Structure 1
């Protein structure tokens, strides 16, 4: 298969599932191979593009659509875009997929709620469980797992390097990036 141009890897999962860590690892590998890449991290986008929004469903949907729009623009110009956003609702992710057309690749970073709570370095789950944070995904708001993602990463059974390798292999197999030859150079 010939190499394609831009694409969007849409990493979705609970807070603390590993989306940001995995996105950084994938971005590093893509840059190493000469692929232009940008990460659209949910926390950063919320701070700079969506600080006017709350966390009710309508505002979450609006935030995800903003991320999707920016990702589409970048991908259209040959950039490998990696989003790391909870994006909890299937219907909104479906809208983004339709907006993109080909080149939208959903990656479910699947991690149990219990593990996410254990990994919670920011103390958000503790605050949500104490009722201090309303509309918290996985606690007081739902997370709707993808039904047919292109890739599923189970972070409880994989290292970060293994998770990154699974995504890179998928990108190679589907022609979004060139595979490396035995010397480690993209062919």
Structure 2
């Protein structure tokens, strides 16, 4: 009978260090966390595009995309949200080992959920708070979710009937509520250089 004890990690033919040297940058992961409609996905794609222009290897793990593919079987209970984060962290770890900069755009509303990223990814994990206030997020409401949540049609919606815990000690805070996408992207790239992730 096949069990986990019978599994064996494969031999690595190309190391992470070799990939980083070939790519010309460190592999790492950042989580863009914030309220719904805080601008996480927009900023993730803008950063991804700028890194591509610089010849950097990056991948975006977007919450909505993951929810419709890898995590399509999960709902939005606290247990299922934790599993969503756990699976995403495992995928991020694989991408980091392949030498990539991983840009994760997820709400991950609770501190203990975000702690799963820190536990799995260790020093490769960096938390970036997309600091857009609730009233601005509601004004944007691109998917109409806030309006539905206010009418009771979306129970457990973060920011309305479910809590969002502001990161206590993020690596970076970006004002996605008031600053332009370009300004936020420049801020992230500057921070990347400060941390010597890219040069």
Q: TM-score, normalised by structure 2?
A: 0.86
SS at match of 1:102: helix
Note the 1:31-42 alignment, pairs <5 A.
Answer: 31-42=52-63
C-alpha distance in 2 between matches for 1:87 and 1:76: 23
Higher CA-based Rg: 2
C-alpha distance in 1 between matches for 2:125 and 2:160: 28
Q: What are the ranges of 5 or more consecutive residues in structure 1 without an aligned counterpart?
A: 179-187
Name the residue aligned to 1:10: 31
C-alpha distance in 1 between matches for 2:101 and 2:25: 10
Name the residue aligned to 2:161: 140
1:126 and 2:138 correspond: no
C-alpha distance in 2 between matches for 1:126 and 1:16: 12
1:92 and 2:110 correspond: no
Name the residue aligned to 1:181: none
CA drift at 1:4: 4.8
Q: TM-score, normalised by structure 1?
A: 0.91
Q: CA RMSD in A?
A: 1.3
C-alpha distance in 1 between matches for 2:64 and 2:50: 22
Name the residue aligned to 1:183: none
Q: What are the ranges of 5 or more consecutive residues in structure 2 without an aligned counterpart?
A: 1-20
